[in-house]
């Protein structure tokens, strides 16, 4: 159909804009149809070899994860390294890690939407998808950590004829059930609703009856009617307004799991905003890790431009520094409080038996993103992927440090211990990446990776602005 | 020629306001003196208590007025950091508000001098000879909480803020003459590191100036709390001042309903953000129930302070939240004026809530004196703004982003 | 129009739904829309690949009531969550967790917030589709093959034939005058509306199949089975261990619990005969009374028997429990007398230790005071008058069944030997629990010493005061 013009992303640097004249968000003089073409090609053209290689690898890893869950359920949580005094070990670390990653998507689609950040349109759909897959990975861990995983539904307030009792709403763990449950379902609605017009595009371009039928079913008979668009946009706005506080609340509630207790190193009031900043930080890093390869494999450089990456890197820098500030505040108040348990907990983190984890965390989370002060690092895909992977590692270690150091040495020296993970801890964590990647690859294969209709809206606004500014001069 | 004249006229402070600055300042000083007098008359048999209440009241009102400047400073910095354009027409006023920080610093000098003289123990219990401090836990903190170090930190904070706001204000004024994009780009370049410094210093100021009133109490979120409160107050102040300016026929063509709408959204957003931070602090301390932490809340829910504490939930959260929820309210000048004034009062009550319960139980002279002191401090603060703003165009006319700010709309939300 | 409809030739044609024009950009669409609106048509719609701003005004579309619906449902969610939490945790199933009140508002807020958002978000989503009358898979606009580009790069304007001013020719002319890319009539979807049989059958099979597992589970729950159940977790159901009092084939006597091996000493066994640990001398026990029977048997048993430490304590606690039961039974009577009323509470009559088995020193007294104030004073009071905080609180609450703690200055207690008091501390008495777990024997003796000192302090004469301090007391006396 329409021809696509690719422009070399290096040639047009849209990361700089002269104050008063905005650079274009998408490069290469795109038209409505070329945008459609560029995005639909991802799912319509035969997948590149790398897709099959990755899919084979990730689906096998996912299969291993599922079998290990089976083994875990049949044998018991004893296969993990969780042992007195560290009963909350890798499962909760992995849970918080994945939930944190799951924050970027809704943040991009909701909070950036509220702040009228138009650049979100190129990355929001993939980020939302990533959010949902990350939340799926996260939700698995508490489910299998309860020991009797087949009774995990007891956490929900349903009228049980056998138990005649209700869940305990004063427990932060139950708040988590509600927070993560709400977050997962609202993110799913948000993601799906945003995709409906684009699925309709897929439907209208389908060549085979099966595709047309399935995409037709999913697109709910979308016609692009203006009356529909009006309500749709209103609904999108309301969902964004609802999702913005929701996204803050989820990691806040996760932080409550730790902070309402009296365990030294956990009970500190900055935990809610600090966890949220960390979650955004890790989420953006994961979006970066995924999107940089995606944009080069599927030739989306004109839609996901350097400017988008530059902006995301700035957010990574900002949140990384906020996290560093929170580390420093915690350390300072541990001394300031003159509470010997708190002071000990923090000295123990930095110089105790887990010093290696602590310094890995600090160097990956606080020091490595500081490279993003330099524009060269913010606009070089290789460097940003490396840094974002470091950030992911650092954020995993942050949760490890918080969970394990505090539990392994709390108030009572006689019950101190040193936590060691088992092989199964490692394999299952690795396996969860398999699930995540498999779902993401399927998403690229079958669903629109970029919000086509939203980009067209931005194109229209930009064209209008261009015409307007020509009128002036 | 005539159009040009009216245009530049519309950018000036109303004539009636121009000469009022010194009157306001005198009234303000008078009111503060009267408030002190009320405390001393009310507590004629307990001079020490009266002095203690006066100092607390002074600090609370000082923080109230300073917080507008803090909010304005952040607003200016974040504008450049995010390359925002919507607020190009209202940014100059924020710069003027932020320029109150150097003058407000003078009002902090009495407290600093007292602290240096190791004489402020009615205000800061750690500020006395180590062996006189009642609590061991506070004694152990004197390496950090001591007169010279406290003063040094405060001076660094205030100097740094002064440097930041002066730089941004001066550059903005220079732009009025030169135009072009270079000055904007320069300010853009510095905004990133300065926002980081801002976060650090605001936390430090919050810990030092307010949190250490209760020297054995601590809360890591306290800096964020002060930040959220300042932003809330700042946006309310912006809305109120623009409404007043426009009522006097100024800035009609530069500040339109879209700008109000956006500032109102921020006010609404910070209503929620403040509640989020305040609730987080409350629930963590309530749940863990550790005596050294709950003591702070205990002071605030005992006696008549409980009315203020529980009242804040409605005044600072529930009522303005419901009030500002509708898009129609946010686009309605009269309704907005009401809610912005409401927010200014709620913010004052919030600062009172942070500081005053440390001074002792509520009493009639305390309320009366504190309110008058607040009015006095606010008059002085307004006078500072008037002095700064007189003769200065209230819109940065040659800001390269001004055309964008004049031609956008809030289609949704 | 109506005449045309009656013609049989036209009736065979698919029904018309008006005209649809196509445009290449949003500006021509907006211009055309304004023209159509100004001509008075209201049953119109524009179809666009993205939301075109200003189209609502150009077509005269009214704002939606969606926000209002969401607001209402948000309040419903808020109320539902609050009601649920309060009812479940404070009414239907109240129990105390970490000392929090049943109705803990701060702890209920997170779930209230989440549920409010959940309700609002679901309402937003479903109400939006509902108001849009979607999903709707069969739509006349789809019959135009050019309409496929509506989700790509084309803009369409539709004037419906059901509009009350609709006139086939004039609408065609009006739209043709807006310079459209194409102009076609919208006709009824002629494809069969019957659901394909294969999908029907598939769905039906799925539906029936989904009942199978549920039926099996229901059947298993409702019926008995002669076969043992299926052990999914075999190693949990059958653990490789022996329980007490069961049999084994490993040992010749078939007992799993093994007797003490000759020549060994069990933990704590050496303490069983030592008055320091007991408060009485077991070798001097004279006769058996019902009260000390248990103790006697235990101490006169063959010395090689396995440790009886635990059973002794258990048995000693028994009379106390019985007293409690007796007291519970008396709950209704407000004026209960002292626990001494119960015969068992009189305690065993044993050969008590009469002198402290440890050296009396000021260090010991200080230790005793410290421990007394930690453990004893909450009930017995700091002065030993039986007026501790617990007692005062109970009186405040006016609990009729509360038994006041014994005053340690009671002549009965003053008359007790030190060993007897030690025994009481070690084993408890009446409502008083035993403190053997928290106080070492030495500390218990120290507490006894301190109690003796307390008792002496109320009954001292001038002779008890050291010579050099007497003058001071005289001074105070004079001053009074």
Q: What is the ipTM of this complex?
A: 0.94
Nearest-Å Rg of the Cα atoms of chain B is: 22
Is B406 inside any structural domain? no
Residue B72 pLDDT: 97
Question: Residue A330 and residue A271: Cα distance in Å, rounded?
Answer: 9
pLDDT digits (tens, 9 = 90+) for A19-60: 877 888 888 888 999 999 999 999 999 999 999 999 999 999
Query: Whats the size of chain C, residue-wise?
Result: 480
Contact: A157, C142; criterion CB under 8 Å: no
Q: Taking residues A213-220, what's their average pLDDT?
A: 93
Give the DSSP per-residue string, A202-263.
HHHH--SHHHHHHHHHHTTT---BHHHHHHHHHHHHHHHHHHHHHHHHHHHHHHHHHHTS--
Given a cut of 90, is residue C479 above it in pLDDT?
no
Residue C213 contacts B, CB cutoff 8 Å: no
Let me know: does A153 contact A167? Beta carbons within 8 Å: no
Question: Residue C324 and residue C10: Cα distance in Å, rounded?
Answer: 99
Mean pLDDT of chain B, nearest integer: 93
Mutate: best of B194, B201, B221, partner A, most A CBs <10 A = B221
Q: Which residue has the tokens 């995709």?
A: A195
Question: Residue B413 and residue B266: Cα distance in Å, rounded?
Answer: 12
HEC per residue, C167-186: CHHHHHHHHHCCCCCEEEEE
Contact: A169, C233; criterion CB under 8 Å: no
Q: Which residue has the tokens 């912005």?
A: B340
**Residue B371: band (very low, low, confident or very high) from pLDDT cuts 50, 70, 90:** very high
Q: Which two tokens stand for residue B377?
A: 């401090």
Q: Taking residues C443-456, what's their average pLDDT?
A: 94
Looking at per-residue pLDDT, the higher value among B6 and A184 belongs to A184
Contact list in C for residue B411 (CB cut-off 8 A) is: 53
Nearest one of C276, C192, C270, C265 to C445, comparing CA atoms: C276
Residue A70 contacts C, CB cutoff 8 Å: no
Contact: B290, A262; criterion CB under 8 Å: yes
Is B141 inside any structural domain? yes
Burial class (CB in 10 A: 0-12, 13-18, 19+), B191: buried
Distance from CA of C45 to the nearest CA of B (A): 20
Residue C89 contacts A, CB cutoff 8 Å: yes
Sign of the dihedral defined by the CA atoms of residues A274, A276, A278, A280, in that order: negative
Which residues on adjacent β-strands are paired with residue C159? C19, C44
Strand pairing category for C182-187 and C155-159:
unpaired
- For residue B291, the SS3 value is helix
Residue A326 pLDDT: 94
* Cis preceding linkage at C135, omega within 30: yes
Residue C53 contacts B, CB cutoff 8 Å: yes
Same domain (yes/no): C163, C301: no
Is C217 inside any structural domain? no
Nearest one of A36, A187, A182, A204 to A125, comparing CA atoms: A187
C-alpha atoms less than 13 angstroms from C-alpha of A33 in its C-beta half-sphere: 13
Residue B282: which of C98, C100, C106 has the nearest Cβ? C106
Contact list in A for residue C66 (CB cut-off 8 A) is: 231, 234-235, 238
Contact: C109, B282; criterion CB under 8 Å: no
Question: Residue C346 and residue C339: Cα distance in Å, rounded?
Answer: 9
Residues 6+ apart with CB under 8 A from A6: A28, A299, A301, A302
Let me know: does A224 contact C150? Beta carbons within 8 Å: yes
Q: Taking residues B371-391, what's their average pLDDT?
A: 95
Question: Residue C74 and residue B304: Cα distance in Å, rounded?
Answer: 34
pLDDT digits (tens, 9 = 90+) for A265-311: 999 999 999 999 999 999 999 999 999 999 999 999 889 999 999 99
Highest mean pLDDT among A423-437, B122-136, C4-18: A423-437
Contact: C148, A2; criterion CB under 8 Å: no
Question: Residue B404 and residue A400: Cα distance in Å, rounded?
Answer: 47
Distance from CA of B225 to the nearest CA of A (A): 10
Contact: C107, B282; criterion CB under 8 Å: no
Let me know: does B194 contact B160? Beta carbons within 8 Å: no
Give me the phi and psi of B342, to 5 degrees please. -55, -45
Q: Which two tokens stand for residue C218?
A: 């229901």
Given a cut of 90, is residue B330 above it in pLDDT?
yes
Let me know: does A407 contact A263? Beta carbons within 8 Å: yes
Residue C291 pLDDT: 59
Question: Residue A445 and residue A437: Cα distance in Å, rounded?
Answer: 12
Q: Which of residues 281-320 of B touch C (CB under 8 A)?
A: 282-283, 286-287, 289
Given a cut of 90, is residue C222 above it in pLDDT?
no
Contact: B284, A259; criterion CB under 8 Å: yes
Question: Residue B305 and residue A422: Cα distance in Å, rounded?
Answer: 54
Q: Which two tokens stand for residue A20?
A: 């008063």
pLDDT digits (tens, 9 = 90+) for A329-349: 999 999 999 999 999 999 999
Let me know: does C422 contact C402? Beta carbons within 8 Å: no
pLDDT digits (tens, 9 = 90+) for C377-403: 999 999 999 999 999 988 888 777 888
**Residue B22: band (very low, low, confident or very high) from pLDDT cuts 50, 70, 90:** very high
Q: Which two tokens stand for residue C197?
A: 């049989």
Give the DSSP per-residue string, C380-444.
H-TTSSS--HHHHHHHHHT-TTPPPPPPTTSHHHHTS-HHHHHHHHHH-BTTBPP-TTTS-HHHH
Q: Which of residues 206-235 of C touch A (CB under 8 A)?
A: 232-233, 235
If one counts the domains in chain C, the total is 2
Contact: A36, C152; criterion CB under 8 Å: yes
Distance from CA of A380 to the nearest CA of C (A): 33
Let me know: does B339 contact B329? Beta carbons within 8 Å: yes
Q: Which residue range forms the structural domain that includes residue C17?
A: 13-189
Contact: B287, C99; criterion CB under 8 Å: no
Contact list in B for residue A333 (CB cut-off 8 A) is: 218-220
Q: Which of residues 122-151 of C touch A (CB under 8 A)?
A: 122, 124-125, 127-129, 131-132, 134-139, 141-142, 148-151
Q: Which residue has the tokens 């964590």?
A: A429
Greatest Cα pair distance in chain B: 74
Residue A344 neighbours by CB distance under 10 Å:
18
Residue B407 contacts C, CB cutoff 8 Å: no
* Alpha-helix runs per DSSP H in B82-145: 91-98, 100-116, 136-139
Mean pLDDT of chain A, nearest integer: 91
Which residue from B minimizes the CA distance to A261? B288
Residue A406 pLDDT: 94
Residue A12 pLDDT: 63
**Residue A10: band (very low, low, confident or very high) from pLDDT cuts 50, 70, 90:** low
Give me the phi and psi of C308, to 5 degrees please. -105, 10
If one counts the domains in chain B, the total is 1
Is B267 inside any structural domain? yes
Residue C51 contacts B, CB cutoff 8 Å: no
Given a cut of 80, is residue C348 above it in pLDDT?
no
Looking at per-residue pLDDT, the higher value among C265 and A60 belongs to A60
Residue B211 pLDDT: 95
Residue A339 contacts B, CB cutoff 8 Å: yes
Residue A227: which of C61, C93, C127 has the nearest Cβ? C61
Is C99 inside any structural domain? yes
Residue A239 contacts B, CB cutoff 8 Å: no
Q: Which two tokens stand for residue C346?
A: 């009189």
Residue A77 neighbours by CB distance under 10 Å:
17
Q: Which helix (H) or strand (E) holds B175?
A: helix B147-178
pLDDT digits (tens, 9 = 90+) for B134-181: 888 899 999 999 999 999 999 999 999 999 999 999 999 999 998 888
Let me know: does A408 contact A401? Beta carbons within 8 Å: no
Is C202 inside any structural domain? no
DSSP summary character for residue C340: G
Distance from CA of B190 to the nearest CA of A (A): 11
Contact partners of A by the rule of 3+ C-beta pairs under 8 A? Answer: B, C
Contact: A269, B284; criterion CB under 8 Å: yes
Is B10 inside any structural domain? no
Please tell me the pTM assigned to this model: 0.83
Q: Which residue has the tokens 């007394």?
A: C372
Q: Which residue range forms the structural domain that includes residue B385?
A: 15-399
Distance from CA of C72 to the nearest CA of B (A): 13
Q: What share of chain B is helix, strand, coil (3-state, %, to 5)?
A: 75, 0, 25
Whole-number percent of chain A with pLDDT over 90: 78
Question: Residue A462 and residue A451: Cα distance in Å, rounded?
Answer: 17
Given a cut of 90, is residue B212 above it in pLDDT?
yes
Angle at A393 (CA atoms; ends A387, A397), nearest 5 degrees: 140
Is C210 inside any structural domain? no
Contact list in C for residue B279 (CB cut-off 8 A) is: 106, 109
**Residue B16: band (very low, low, confident or very high) from pLDDT cuts 50, 70, 90:** confident
Which residue from A minimizes the CA distance to C151? A201
Q: Which two tokens stand for residue B324?
A: 């500002």
Give me the phi and psi of B94, to 5 degrees please. -65, -40
Q: Taking residues A361-371, what's their average pLDDT?
A: 96
Is C240 inside any structural domain? no
Residue C260 pLDDT: 85
Which residue from A minimizes the CA distance to C107? A170
Residue C4 pLDDT: 41
Contact: B222, A269; criterion CB under 8 Å: yes
Given a cut of 70, is residue C60 above it in pLDDT?
yes
Nearest one of C438, C276, C450, C452 to C367, comparing CA atoms: C450
Q: Which helix (H) or strand (E) holds A457?
A: helix A452-472
Which residue from C minimizes the CA distance to B288? C98
**Residue C218: band (very low, low, confident or very high) from pLDDT cuts 50, 70, 90:** confident
Contact list in C for residue B282 (CB cut-off 8 A) is: 106
Q: Which residue has the tokens 């440090």?
A: A401
Given a cut of 90, is residue A384 above it in pLDDT?
yes
Least confident range from A235-239, A438-442, C286-290, C456-460: namely: C286-290
**Residue A8: band (very low, low, confident or very high) from pLDDT cuts 50, 70, 90:** low
Residue B287: which of C53, C71, C107 has the nearest Cβ? C107
Q: Which two tokens stand for residue B152?
A: 């040094």
Residue B47 neighbours by CB distance under 10 Å:
11
Q: Taking residues B346-351, what's their average pLDDT?
A: 97
Looking at per-residue pLDDT, the higher value among C424 and A20 belongs to C424
Contact partners of B by the rule of 3+ C-beta pairs under 8 A? Answer: A, C
Query: Whats the size of chain A, residue-wise?
Result: 473
Residue C236 contacts A, CB cutoff 8 Å: yes
Let me know: does C113 contact A250? Beta carbons within 8 Å: no
Let me know: does A14 contact A305? Beta carbons within 8 Å: yes
Q: Taking residues A11-23, what's their average pLDDT?
A: 75
Mean pLDDT of chain C, nearest integer: 83
The whole-angstrom distance between residue B172's C-alpha and the CA centroid of its chain comes to 22
pLDDT digits (tens, 9 = 90+) for C301-321: 444 434 444 444 444 444 444
Is B363 inside any structural domain? yes
Residue B411 contacts C, CB cutoff 8 Å: yes
Question: Residue A8 and residue A54: Cα distance in Å, rounded?
Answer: 27
Residue B349 neighbours by CB distance under 10 Å:
19
Contact: A338, B140; criterion CB under 8 Å: yes
Q: Taking residues A67-74, what's their average pLDDT?
A: 93
Is C312 inside any structural domain? yes
Contact: C233, A74; criterion CB under 8 Å: yes
Question: Residue B63 and residue A16: Cα distance in Å, rounded?
Answer: 39
Is C269 inside any structural domain? no
Contact list in A for residue C112 (CB cut-off 8 A) is: none
Is C4 inside any structural domain? no
Question: Residue A259 and residue A269: Cα distance in Å, rounded?
Answer: 7
Residues 6+ apart with CB under 8 A from A68: A424, A427, A428, A431
Given a cut of 70, is residue C236 above it in pLDDT?
yes
Kindly report the CATH number assigned to the domain that includes residue C421. 1.10.760.10
Contact list in B for residue A310 (CB cut-off 8 A) is: none
Contact: A170, C100; criterion CB under 8 Å: yes
Residue A7 pLDDT: 64
- For residue C255, the SS3 value is strand
Q: Which of residues 300-339 of A touch C (CB under 8 A)?
A: none
Residue A216 contacts C, CB cutoff 8 Å: yes
Residues 6+ apart with CB under 8 A from C223: none
Residue A330: which of B140, B220, B265 has the nearest Cβ? B220
Residue A26 pLDDT: 86
Q: Domain end: C189, C216, C242, which one?
A: C189
């Amino acid at each position: 159909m329409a021809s696509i013009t690719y422009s070399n992303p290096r040639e047009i640097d849209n990361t700089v804009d002269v104050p008063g004249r905005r650079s274009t968000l998408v490069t290469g003089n795109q038209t409505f149809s070329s945008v459609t073409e560029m995005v639909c090609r991802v799912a319509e053209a035969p997948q590149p070899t790398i897709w099959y290689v990755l899919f084979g690898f990730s689906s096998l890893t996912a299969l291993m994860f599922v079998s290990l869950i089976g083994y875990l359920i049949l044998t018991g949580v004893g296969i993990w390294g969780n042992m007195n005094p560290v009963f909350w070990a890798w499962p909760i670390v992995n849970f918080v890690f994945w939930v944190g990653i799951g924050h970027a998507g809704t943040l991009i689609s909701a909070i950036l939407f509220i702040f009228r950040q138009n650049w979100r349109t190129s990355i929001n759909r993939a980020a939302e998808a990533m959010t949902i897959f990350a939340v799926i990975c996260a939700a698995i861990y508490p489910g299998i950590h309860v020991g009797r995983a087949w009774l995990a539904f007891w956490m929900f307030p349903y009228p049980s004829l056998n138990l005649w009792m209700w869940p305990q709403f004063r427990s932060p763990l139950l708040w988590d059930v509600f927070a993560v449950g709400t977050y997962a379902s609202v993110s799913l609605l948000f993601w799906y609703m945003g995709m409906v017009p684009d699925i309709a595009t897929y439907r209208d371009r389908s060549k085979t009856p099966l595709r047309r039928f399935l995409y037709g079913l999913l697109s709910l008979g979308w016609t692009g009617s203006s009356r529909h668009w009006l309500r749709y946009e209103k609904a999108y706005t309301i969902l964004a307004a609802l999702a913005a506080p929701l996204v803050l609340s989820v990691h806040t509630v996760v932080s409550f799991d730790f902070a309402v207790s009296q365990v030294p190193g956990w009970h500190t009031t900055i935990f809610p905003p600090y966890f949220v900043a960390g979650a955004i930080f890790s989420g953006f890093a994961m979006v970066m890790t995924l999107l940089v390869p995606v944009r080069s494999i599927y030739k989306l450089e004109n839609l996901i431009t350097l400017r988008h990456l530059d902006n995301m890197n700035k957010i990574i820098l900002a949140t990384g520094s906020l996290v560093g500030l929170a580390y420093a505040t915690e350390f300072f108040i541990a001394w300031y409080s003159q509470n010997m348990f708190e002071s000990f907990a923090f000295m123990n983190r930095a110089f105790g038996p887990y010093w290696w984890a602590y310094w890995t965390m600090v160097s990956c989370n606080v020091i490595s993103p500081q490279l993003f002060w330099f524009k060269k690092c913010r606009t070089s895909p290789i460097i940003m992927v490396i840094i974002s992977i470091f950030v992911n590692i650092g954020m995993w270690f942050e949760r490890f440090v918080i969970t394990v150091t505090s539990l392994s040495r709390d108030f009572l020296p006689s019950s101190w211990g040193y936590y060691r993970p088992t092989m199964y801890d490692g394999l299952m964590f690795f396996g969860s990446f398999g699930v995540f990647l498999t779902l993401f690859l399927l998403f690229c294969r079958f669903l629109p990776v970029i919000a086509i209709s939203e980009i067209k809206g931005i194109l229209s606004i930009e064209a209008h602005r261009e015409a307007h500014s020509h009128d002036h001069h | 020629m005539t159009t040009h004249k009216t245009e530049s006229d519309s950018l000036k402070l109303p004539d009636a306001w121009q000469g009022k600055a010194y009157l306001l300042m005198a009234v303000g000083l008078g009111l503060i003196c009267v408030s002190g007098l009320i405390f001393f008359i009310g507590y004629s048999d307990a001079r020490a208590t009266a002095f203690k209440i006066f100092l607390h009241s002074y600090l609370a009102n000082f923080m109230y007025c300073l917080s507008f400047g803090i909010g304005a400073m952040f607003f200016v910095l974040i504008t450049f950091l995010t390359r925002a354009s919507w607020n190009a027409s209202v940014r100059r006023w924020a710069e003027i508000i932020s320029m109150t920080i150097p003058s407000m610093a003078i009002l902090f000098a009495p407290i600093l001098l007292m602290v240096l003289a190791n004489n402020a123990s009615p205000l800061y219990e750690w500020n006395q000879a180590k062996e006189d401090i009642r609590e061991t836990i506070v004694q152990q903190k004197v390496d950090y909480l001591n007169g010279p170090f406290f003063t040094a930190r405060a001076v660094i904070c205030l100097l740094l803020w002064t440097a930041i706001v002066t730089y941004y204000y001066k550059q903005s004024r220079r732009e009025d003459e030169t135009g072009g994009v270079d000055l904007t780009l320069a300010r853009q370049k510095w905004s990133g590191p300065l926002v980081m410094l801002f976060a650090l210093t605001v936390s430090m100021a919050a810990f030092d100036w307010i949190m250490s009133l209760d020297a054995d109490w601590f809360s890591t979120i306290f800096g964020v709390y002060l930040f959220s409160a300042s932003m809330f107050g700042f946006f309310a102040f912006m809305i109120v001042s623009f409404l007043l300016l426009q009522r006097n026929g100024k800035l009609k063509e530069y500040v339109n309903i879209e700008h109000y709408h956006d500032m109102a959204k921020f006010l609404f957003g910070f209503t929620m953000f403040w509640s989020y931070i305040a609730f987080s602090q409350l629930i963590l301390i309530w749940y863990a129930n550790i005596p050294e932490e709950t003591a702070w809340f205990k002071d605030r829910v005992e006696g008549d302070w409980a009315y203020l504490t529980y009242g804040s939930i409605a005044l600072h959260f529930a009522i303005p939240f419901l009030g500002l929820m509708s898009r129609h309210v946010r686009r309605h000048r009269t309704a907005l004026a009401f809610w912005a004034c409401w927010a200014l009062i709620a913010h004052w009550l919030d600062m009172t809530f942070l500081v005053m319960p440390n001074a002792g139980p509520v009493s009639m002279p305390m309320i009366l004196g504190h309110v008058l002191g607040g009015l006095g401090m606010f008059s002085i603060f307004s006078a500072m703004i008037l002095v700064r703003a007189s003769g200065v165009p209230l819109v940065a006319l040659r800001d390269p982003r001004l055309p964008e700010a004049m031609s956008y709309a809030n289609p949704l939300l | 129009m109506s005449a045309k409809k009656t013609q049989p030739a036209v009736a065979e044609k698919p029904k018309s739904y008006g005209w649809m024009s196509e445009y290449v950009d949003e500006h021509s669409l907006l211009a055309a829309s304004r023209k159509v609106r100004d001509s008075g048509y209201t049953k119109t719609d524009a179809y666009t690949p993205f939301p075109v701003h200003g189209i609502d005004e150009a077509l005269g579309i009214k704002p939606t009531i969606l926000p209002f619906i969401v607001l209402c449902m948000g309040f419903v969610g808020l109320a539902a969550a609050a009601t649920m939490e309060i009812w479940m945790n404070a009414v239907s199933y109240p129990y105390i967790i970490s000392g929090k009140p049943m109705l803990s508002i701060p702890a209920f807020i997170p779930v209230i917030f989440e549920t409010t958002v959940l309700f609002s978000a679901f309402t937003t989503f479903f109400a939006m589709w509902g108001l849009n009358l979607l999903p709707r898979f069969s739509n006349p606009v789809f019959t135009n093959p050019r309409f496929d580009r509506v989700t790509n790069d084309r803009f369409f304007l539709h004037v419906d034939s059901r509009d009350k001013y609709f006139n086939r020719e004039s609408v065609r002319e009006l739209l043709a005058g807006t310079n459209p890319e194409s102009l076609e009539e919208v006709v009824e979807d002629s494809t069969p509306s019957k659901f394909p049989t294969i999908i029907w059958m598939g769905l039906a099979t799925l539906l029936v199949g989904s009942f199978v597992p549920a039926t099996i589970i229901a059947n298993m729950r409702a019926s008995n089975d002669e076969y043992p159940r299926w052990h999914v977790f075999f190693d949990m159901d059958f653990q490789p261990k022996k329980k007490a009092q069961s049999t084994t084939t490993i040992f010749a006597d078939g007992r799993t619990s093994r007797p003490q091996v000759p020549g060994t000493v069990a933990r704590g066994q050496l303490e069983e005969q030592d008055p320091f640990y007991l408060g009485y001398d077991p070798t001097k026990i004279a006769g058996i009374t019902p009260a000390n029977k248990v103790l006697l048997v235990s101490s006169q048993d063959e010395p090689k028997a396995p440790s009886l430490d635990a059973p002794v304590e258990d048995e000693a606690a028994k009379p106390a429990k019985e007293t409690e039961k007796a007291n519970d039974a008396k709950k209704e009577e407000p004026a209960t007398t002292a626990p001494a009323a119960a015969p068992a509470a009189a305690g065993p009559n044993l050969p008590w230790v009469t002198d402290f088995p440890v050296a009396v020193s000021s260090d010991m007294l200080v230790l005793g005071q410290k421990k007394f104030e930690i453990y004893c004073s909450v009930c017995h009071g700091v002065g030993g008058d039986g007026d501790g905080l617990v007692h005062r609180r109970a009186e405040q609450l006016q609990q009729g069944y509360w038994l006041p703690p014994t005053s340690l200055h009671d002549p009965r207690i003053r008359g007790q030997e030190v060993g007897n008091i030690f025994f009481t501390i070690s084993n408890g008495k009446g409502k008083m629990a035993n403190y053997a777990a928290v106080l070492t024997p030495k500390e218990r003796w120290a507490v006894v010493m301190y109690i003796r000192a307390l008792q002496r302090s109320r009954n001292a004469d001038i002779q008890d005061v050291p010579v050099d301090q007497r003058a001071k007391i005289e001074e105070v006396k004079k001053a009074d």
